[in-house]
Amino acid sequence: MLEIRLEKASSKYLNQIESYRKEMLKSNSSFDGCSNLDKYDNINEWLAYCHKMENIETKQTGLVNADQLLLINGSKEVIGMANVRRKLNESLMLVGGHIGYSICPKYRNKGYGKKMLSLVLEYCKSIKITKVRISCYRDNIASKKIILANNGKYDSTIKIGDKEIERYWITMEEKVKVIIDCDTGSDDAIAVMMAILSEKIDLVGICTVAGNKALNFTTENTLAVVEALNSDVKVYAGCKESMVTKLLPSRRGKYTGFTGVKDEGGIEPKITYHHDHLPLPTPTIKAEKQNAVCWLVETLLEAKEKITMVITGPMTNLAMALRIEPKIADNIKEIVFMGG
């Protein structure tokens, strides 16, 4: 999936909005979340209407003020649109809710809908809407899956004409921003999985480091976990050697230990920790080109809120980052590490 972002509707994307409109009309798609774009032949006039609707003093009588957003990909195409209503009137409470959205036909069924709603929910949170009303037709299975994937909780169903509409609430808690720094073997893989699946964690990124295994193995194992969970979190490979000393031999390679439990023959079998490869398919995704240390410095310097560092391997990456730029410590909320 390409990098995507939300932007307010503006004349900067005049041609792209026109292309989006043509694609939607061509496929006879419903213009959900598009502020009646289908009714405007002139895109400048549509933009003027959107800007009026943003302001409570200039909005159309009988409607609530709303923000028109565009989903932009790395090629600067408009591939989706969303309309965020800043409050609910009686009609929107009944059906419609806070958010309407749509994806360009050629980009459907590729995961963009799920990611777009996630971004729109973050936007809602930024404008102090923390409990979001959203609805979909009962027979729109794809839309229902997107809502449920973004923690939508079913509320009720209403019938209008011959159509049944399901209504949901999405309540957003403040998530803890976390960066994981790991040398993924079996135990670190569990930590990565729990962080990705947690509703309370905003996983900013994952750094890998040489530790129980060489960097190429810890990075590949991490990527395998990320891909297995179909996550889009970025992975950054870091230091391949320690700063001060080497790990003890027992912490490297195929270290074996005893289970503490004897079998029927009275023998206590050995087990192997930290295999080179996890029992997962070889990942097709790649680590980012930027080194983990450089990414840590850049990310922590630019952070608008403090980030928790969860370190389950050697602390080499963070130590190097702090040597390069000690100021990053100001944006570290806490360091949670595993040792022993």
Contact 140, 168 (CB under 8 A): no
Cα–Cα distance measured from residue 92 to residue 291, given in angstroms and rounded to the nearest whole number:
47
Q: Which residue has the higher pLDDT, 86 or 173?
A: 86
- Chain centroid to CA 20: how far? 24
pLDDT value for 272: 55
Indicate the range of 61-65, 106-110, 158-162, 282-286 predicted with least confidence.
Answer: 61-65
Residues forming a β-bridge with 206:
180, 235
Q: Which residues are within 8 A (CB) of 147 and not within 5 positions of it... i.e. 6 or more apart?
A: 117, 134, 136, 168, 170
Angle at 49 between CA 45 and CA 52, to 5 degrees: 140
Is 181 a residue of the active site?
A: no
The model's pLDDT over 147-164, given as tens digits with 9 standing for 90+, comes to: 999 999 999 999 999 999
Both tokens of residue 274? 């930290």
Tell me the mean pLDDT in the region 317-326: 97
Tell me the mean pLDDT in the region 276-298: 91
Active-site residue, from 155, 183, 188, 330? 183
- CA-closest candidate to residue 207, choices 324, 285, 314, 329: 314
Kindly list the domain boundaries of the chain, sorted by start residue: 4-171, 176-337
pLDDT reading at 336 higher than 90: yes
Summary mean pLDDT of the chain: 89
pLDDT reading at 187 higher than 90: no
Angle at 295 between CA 294 and CA 301, to 5 degrees: 95
- Bridge-based pairing of strands 201-208 and 235-237 is parallel
Q: What is the topology classification, in CATH, of domain 176-337? A: Inosine-uridine Nucleoside N-ribohydrolase; Chain A (3.90.245)
pLDDT value for 258: 47
> Cβ–Cβ contacts within 10 Å for residue 250, how many?
10
Q: What is the CATH number of domain 4-171?
A: 3.40.630.30
pTM of this prediction exceeds 0.75: no
DSSP H/E element including 231: none
Angle at 153 between CA 152 and CA 155, to 5 degrees: 125
Q: Binning pLDDT at 50, 70 and 90, where does residue 246 land? A: low
Helical residues (DSSP H) of the chain, grouped into ranges: 14-26, 43-54, 90-94, 112-126, 141-149, 186-197, 215-228, 292-302, 316-324
